[in-house]
Amino acid sequence: MEPIESLRLLKGINIDYYTAAHTARQNGKFIAYVNAFTPVELLYAMDFIPVYPENHAVILGARKLSEEVIHAAEGMGYSRDLCSYALCDLGSIRTGKSPTMGLPKPDLLLVSNSQCGTLTKWFEVLSRLYGAPMVLIDVPQSGDGQKDSAAERYVRRQLEELVSILEDITGRPLDEGRFRECIHLSRRASELWSRVLETGMHCPAPMTVFDQFIAMAPIVAQRGTKVAVDFYETLLEELQGRVERGISAVGDERFRLYWDNLPIWPELRRLSRFLEAQGAALVVSLYTWAWATLAVGEEDPFGDWAHQYLYTANLHMERRIEQYEAFARHYKLDGFLYHSNRSCKMFSQDIPEVRRAVTQRTGIPGTVLEADHNDPHLYSVETLEVQIRTFLEMLGAKEVH
């Protein structure tokens, strides 16, 4: 099929990003290791380059280096039952294997426990390893998404205190004008990313979730920069042109599917080609949509960030099911592929109940794929393909009747 030309820009964008990180100190900048949902706009405004050990692990998996570096992490005494992102990153440090020449030494590690507890322990290891301070944004979990004013004040206070910590490290005060500009750029990038994802509502879809997994790099790591805005303006323009010309991402689009949970990074290309050959288009995923929800306003960014940590990241079951129902309507879905991800137990443990509820409410079936986002030792890609093919045959038979 006709490739999306804008995606070719990502190679240069990613090279420039990692080059800037490795040369940060020569250019008077600082490095902060961060996890998902970090307020990167504040970091960019304070001359920090946010670096994601999770993203580094993704690259290792996509380049099929994960098995080697995970084995090295086991040799350090870490169990293979741990998150394969953490194992990949730690094993890469041990072996020196990395497509990005590793990650530069951090000046600060900033992590929240709203995502999962593993990240906190992983960052504690990195903090000891590099002798760098770690800041934890502690986020209470209500479990049902109910508003909690005391929790909002608690999280907000931590975020406000973060400003003083950054000022102490850099030796310079926060530039309010620059901060507002970073927030403005972040909002614009998030708006554009949302519109990119909405193009999947068109039949046929001009872009698959596999493409989105690749295209999401700037919205994750470079929100708050002009780089992200420029890239998504270019990508959106191309996708709108593909919609107008009726260019399909998978040729003869027969099935429109949802992908649940993280990708299986080592198999991204193989599964993309496999599904394309079946006429199946992955048109939407909550994973890629999550990054469209992180913009904050200039009026009260700290309050907005506190709400994100407490309520956006707290994807309790009922809200998750309602979101999937909405996706089914807006994207005209035929089926759900639920990735039961061994490394992400927190998000995977509810999948059987989520599948049952979604099918009951929408009438749309789903199948559960047992795998891992980065460790090929924990699944068989051939088995996954057989399972997906059987599921599509069932959808095809349903379509005939």
Per-residue pLDDT tens digits for 364-398: 999 999 999 999 999 999 999 999 999 999 999 97
Last residue of a domain, one of 117, 148, 175: 175
Q: Are residues 19 and 62 located together in one domain of the fold?
A: yes
Q: Are residues 192 and 144 located together in one domain of the fold?
A: no
Cβ–Cβ under 8 Å, residues 332 and 56:
no
Per-residue pLDDT tens digits for 99-120: 999 999 999 999 999 878 899 9
Q: Are residues 195 and 340 located together in one domain of the fold?
A: yes
What DSSP designation does 115 have?
S
What phi, psi does 98 have (nearest 5°)?
A: -170, 130
Judged against a pLDDT cut of 90, whether residue 143 lies above it is answered with: no
Mean pLDDT over all residues of the chain? 95
Q: Are residues 219 and 97 located together in one domain of the fold?
A: no
Q: Is 341 helix (H, G, I), strand (E, B) or coil?
A: strand
Q: Are residues 194 and 327 located together in one domain of the fold?
A: yes
Instruction: Please give the average per-residue pLDDT across 275-296, as a whole number.
Output: 95
Judged against a pLDDT cut of 70, whether residue 399 lies above it is answered with: no
Q: What is the pLDDT of residue 103?
A: 97
Q: Are residues 117 and 194 located together in one domain of the fold?
A: no
* Residue numbers of the domain that contains 136: 5-175
Per-residue pLDDT tens digits for 177-229: 999 999 999 999 999 999 999 999 999 999 999 999 999 999 999 999 999 99
Label residue 15 by pLDDT band (50, 70, 90).
Answer: very high
Last residue of a domain, one of 147, 175, 203: 175
CA 79 to chain centre: 24
Which of these, 253, 254, 275, lies nearest to 369 by C-alpha position? 275
Per-residue pLDDT tens digits for 31-41: 999 998 899 99
Which of these, 108, 83, 106, 103, lies nearest to 93 by C-alpha position? 103
Q: What is the pLDDT of residue 245?
A: 96
Last residue of a domain, one of 175, 192, 222: 175
Q: Are residues 201 and 107 located together in one domain of the fold?
A: no
CATH number at residue 64: 3.40.50.11890
pTM, rounded to two decimals: 0.96
Q: Are residues 153 and 226 located together in one domain of the fold?
A: no
Q: Are residues 83 and 190 located together in one domain of the fold?
A: no
Instruction: Please give the average per-residue pLDDT across 351-364, as a whole number.
Output: 97
For 194-199, the CB contacts below 8 A with 24+ separation are: 194/292, 195/236, 196/232, 196/235, 196/236, 196/239, 197/284, 197/288, 197/289, 197/292, 199/236, 199/239, 199/240, 199/242, 199/243
Q: Are residues 214 and 298 located together in one domain of the fold?
A: yes
Q: What is the pLDDT of residue 401?
A: 44
How many CB atoms sit inside 10 A of residue 353's CB? 12
Cβ–Cβ under 8 Å, residues 370 and 293:
no
Instruction: Please give the average per-residue pLDDT across 258-263, as a whole number.
Output: 97
Listed range (58-62, 106-110, 315-319, 381-385) with the worst mean pLDDT: 315-319
Number of independent structural domains in the chain: 2
Q: What would the two tokens of residue 15 be?
A: 């090279």
Q: Are residues 135 and 187 located together in one domain of the fold?
A: no
CATH number at residue 295: 3.40.50.11900
Query: In what helix (H) or strand (E) does residue 368 lie, and over which residues does it extend?
Result: strand 366-371
CA atoms of 95 and 345, how far apart (whole Å):
27
Label residue 315 by pLDDT band (50, 70, 90).
Answer: confident
Judged against a pLDDT cut of 80, whether residue 1 lies above it is answered with: no
Q: Are residues 30 and 140 located together in one domain of the fold?
A: yes
